[in-house]
């Protein structure tokens, strides 16, 4: 059954849709991870890869990507193209990766080292952080770092005027975020 054609959901990776007076953008790529599958990974702001992670040029892919894309595509460039120069104060971004150095991007890496190099427990996207700081969308919704809410004791953060929420969860339950775009401070998160 093709649920998208039945209107149950709409695939919006790297696209914009209008929804009840708001523009909603989707973006699924994350910075390089330690995992071998690279279908949904891009360099963040440069070709730097954190210790212990594998570059987008290495690993395996289940669908082809050009050498140019593997070597040079970045989250930073993709977000600039996706948003263009439009005003974003009435926009919602669905971004798989959370922004860097927030309550939403803590991984269980504190105190761990690789080759005597301490690992940064903040594993979110620098490009996404900079994008939110400079463009100030109304709301960003994230996932990716499942243990973050448990480690930071928060599923939400604020960058300037932008509310950032994460539904990532490392337990057996499903995490649901309920919000009213006109009253984001009253948003709730429920595990079911």
Average pLDDT over residues 85-109: 97
In DSSP terms, which residues pair with 95 in a beta bridge?
27
Q: Are 32 and 56 in contact (CB under 8 A)?
A: yes
In DSSP terms, which residues pair with 93 in a beta bridge?
25, 140
Structural domains in the chain?
Answer: 15-191 (3.60.21)
Across the chain, mean pLDDT equals: 95
Say what the pLDDT of residue 9 is: 86
Out of 2-6, 85-89, 138-142, 165-169, pick the least confident.
2-6
104-149 tens-digit pLDDT: 999 999 999 999 999 999 999 999 999 999 999 999 999 999 999 9
For the record, the structure tokens of 118 come out as: 């301490």
């Amino acid at each position: 059954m093709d649920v998208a054609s039945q209107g149950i959901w709409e695939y919006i990776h790297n696209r914009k849709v209008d929804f009840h007076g708001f523009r909603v953008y989707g973006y699924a790529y994350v910075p390089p991870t330690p995992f071998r599958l690279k279908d949904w990974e891009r360099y963040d702001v440069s070709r730097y890869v954190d210790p212990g992670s594998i570059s987008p040029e290495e690993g395996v892919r289940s669908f082809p990507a050009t050498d140019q894309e593997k070597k040079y595509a970045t989250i930073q460039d993709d977000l600039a193209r996706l948003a263009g120069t439009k005003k974003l104060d009435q926009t919602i971004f669905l971004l798989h990766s959370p922004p860097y150095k927030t309550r939403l991007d803590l991984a269980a890496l504190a105190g761990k080292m690789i080759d005597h190099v301490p690992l940064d427990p903040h594993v979110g996207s620098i490009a996404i952080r900079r994008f939110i700081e400079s463009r100030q969308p109304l709301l960003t919704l994230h996932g990716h770092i499942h243990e973050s809410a448990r480690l930071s004791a928060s599923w939400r953060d604020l960058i300037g005027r932008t509310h950032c929420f994460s539904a990532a969860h490392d337990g057996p339950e499903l995490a649901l975020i309920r919000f009213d775009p006109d009253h984001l401070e009253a948003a709730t998160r429920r595990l079911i």
